Amino acid sequence: MTDKLGLPVGTTLDRFIMRKQEDFPYATGELSQLLRDIALAAKIVNREINRAGLLDVTGAYGQQNVQGEDQQKLDVIANIRFIRALRNGGEVCTIISEEEDEAIQTGNTKGKYIVAIDPLDGSSNIDVNVSIGTIFSIYRRVSEQGSDGTMDDCLQTGTKQVGAGYIIYGSSTMLVYTTGNGVNGFTYDMTLGEFFLSHPNIFTPATGKIYSVNEGSYNSFPEGVKQYVNYCRDNEYSARYIGSLVGDFHRNLMKGGIYIYPSTAKAPNGKLRLMYECNALAFIVEQAGGKATNGSQRIMDMVPTALHQRCPLFIGSPEMVDKAEEFLKAEVEVN
Ligand code: P6P
């Protein structure tokens, strides 16, 4: 019976980061501290989300962001919390946020890192209690320390990421991240205020039977996407689309599946943003054995030209992404 007593509580995120620090290309502790800063903000945002129904923080904020989307109150709150945590942490010189038109200079001119972040993705789901998430991407600055970050620091290809991750505020709150040495998932224990390692070395199945796409836009999909959706239907795949990228992505990562946001009539370049949604999830999925393209090009090879540029996204199990691209290629050959 005594072997049940004193069971270890598990590995905290902090201890995991310290143990893995030797894996970091720049093992001087700054990236470790940056990850801790993100985890702190995630705990605060998690608390705000969990109380949303009790405080007057649900619903629209009354303004639009640079995307022309109605900001939700929690979008603004999450944006403030993450920017403040990264500014106070001191490791980040510049932040690209979905909620900010321009890059934010933190004043940490000696900071070595740039963070691109979607502070709260899927926030329209907050009022109906559907999972939402934070998505982040970390780059090392290319300019000299001692001044503000530059556009060259911000507009780096996804292959230059030194870290990426997401927080999913779902039935449980999880932080999933990579620093280029595999993908690990941590579940938040609110009673202790700690993230504990719960999903070590995440690998996504090579294929699956779940496809995530908004079939309401089917009529304006490119022909190849229509053909792939028909292929999924003919093979009796499961359609799972909750309108929250992090929720759909995480489920597909764990079970196998594909998420597609193609070009549509309303979003000719796709809806998702390259810098703080597509690149971050592409880094994670590739580290987990998956694949992410824009339908023809590897997401992480795309050269960014604007902070908030959009791109089509095909991401998930590699064999499913390849199959979708087969239909897209056939479309090109026919045309
Ligand atoms: P649609 C949320 O706004 C989001 O960015 C993703 O989280 C989600 O997958 C997608 O947009 C939903 O967009 O056009 O299908 O409603």
The token pair at 197 is: 């390692």
Task: Determine the Cα–Cα distance for residues 67 and 74; give it in Å rounded to an integer.
Answer: 16
Q: Is residue 125 part of a domain?
A: yes
Q: Please indicate, yes or no, if residue 105 is contained in any of the structural domains.
A: yes
For residues 59 and 147, membership in a common domain is answered with yes
The CATH number assigned to the domain holding 176 equals: 3.30.540.10
Which range (21-25, 248-252, 298-302) has the least confidence?
A: 21-25
* Confidence at 213, pLDDT banded by 50, 70, 90: very high
CA distance linking residue 13 with residue 59, whole number of Å: 32
What is the SS3 assignment for 136?
strand
Given a cut of 90, whether residue 295 has pLDDT beyond it is: yes
Give the total number of structural domains in the chain.
2
Q: Tokens standing for 123?
A: 């926030």
Instruction: Look at residues 199, 218, 247 and tell me which one is the last residue of a structural domain.
Output: 199
Shared domain check, 234 and 193: no
> Which of 199, 222, 249 is the last residue before a domain boundary?
199
In this model, does residue 8 exceed pLDDT 80?
no
Q: Taking residues 208-215, what's their average pLDDT?
A: 98
Closest Cα to atom 1, ligand 1: which residue?
Answer: 243
Q: Are residues 248 and 186 in the same domain?
A: no
Q: Among candidates 135, 102, 144, 169, which has minimal Cα distance to 285?
A: 135
Label residue 7 exposed, middle or buried (CB < 10 Å: 0-12, 13-18, 19+). Answer: exposed
Average pLDDT, integer, range 105-117: 97
Residue ranges lining ligand 1, Cβ < 6 Å: 121-122, 214, 243-245, 248, 271
74, 123, 244: residue to mutate for ligand 1 pocket, most atoms within 8 A of CB: 244
Q: What is the CATH number of the domain that holds 304?
A: 3.40.190.80
User: Is the pLDDT score of 46 beyond 90?
Assistant: yes
Average pLDDT estimate for 273-292: 98
Residue 204 lies in a domain: no
**pLDDT value at 159 more than 80:** yes
**Please, are residues 295 and 325 in contact by the beta-carbon 8 Å criterion?**
yes
Decide if 173 is inside a domain.
Answer: yes
Whether 234 and 97 map to the same domain: the answer is no
| Residue 4 covered by a domain | no
Q: Per-residue pLDDT for 78 more than 70?
A: yes
Burial of 120 (0-12, 13-18, 19+ CB in 10 A): buried
pLDDT at residue 62 is higher than 90: no
pLDDT at 258: 98
Q: Which residue lies with its CA nearest to atom 2 of ligand 1?
A: 122
246 CA from centroid of ligand 1 (Å): 10
From 134, 168, 199, the end of a domain falls on 199
> With the C-alpha atoms ordered 245, 251, 252, 253, is the resulting torsion angle positive or negative?
positive
Question: Are 22 and 120 found together in one domain?
Answer: yes
Percent of the chain exceeding pLDDT 90 equals: 80
Q: Which helix (H) or strand (E) holds 199?
A: strand 194-199
Q: Which of 300, 255, 295, 303 is nearest to 278 (CA)?
A: 300
pLDDT at 100 over 90: yes
Domain match, 96 and 188 both: yes
Which has more pLDDT, 1 or 19? 19
pLDDT at 73: 83
Q: Report residue 68's pLDDT band, with 50, 70 and 90 as the boundaries.
A: confident
Q: Does 116 lie in the same domain as 59?
A: yes
Which ligand 1 atom sits closest to the C-alpha of 242? Answer: 9
23 pLDDT band (50/70/90 cuts)? low
Is 83 inside any structural domain?
A: yes
| Number of neighbouring beta carbons within 10 Å of residue 75 | 25
- Over range 31-40, report the average pLDDT: 93
Q: In ligand 1, which atom is closest to the CA atom of 266?
A: 14
| Residue range 40-47: mean pLDDT, rounded | 96
Share of the chain above pLDDT 70, in %: 96
Residues 220 and 147 in one domain: no
In a domain, 2, yes or no: no
Maximum Cα–Cα distance across the chain = 71
Same domain membership, residue 233 and residue 194: no
By the 8 A CB rule, do 261 and 215 touch? no
pLDDT of residue 9: 78
Using CA positions, which residue lies closest to atom 4 of ligand 1?
A: 122
For residues 33 and 181, membership in a common domain is answered with yes
For residues 314 and 69, the model is more confident at 314
Q: Are residues 77 and 221 in the same domain?
A: no
Residues 160 and 52 placed together within one structural domain of the fold: yes
- Domain range enclosing 141: 13-199
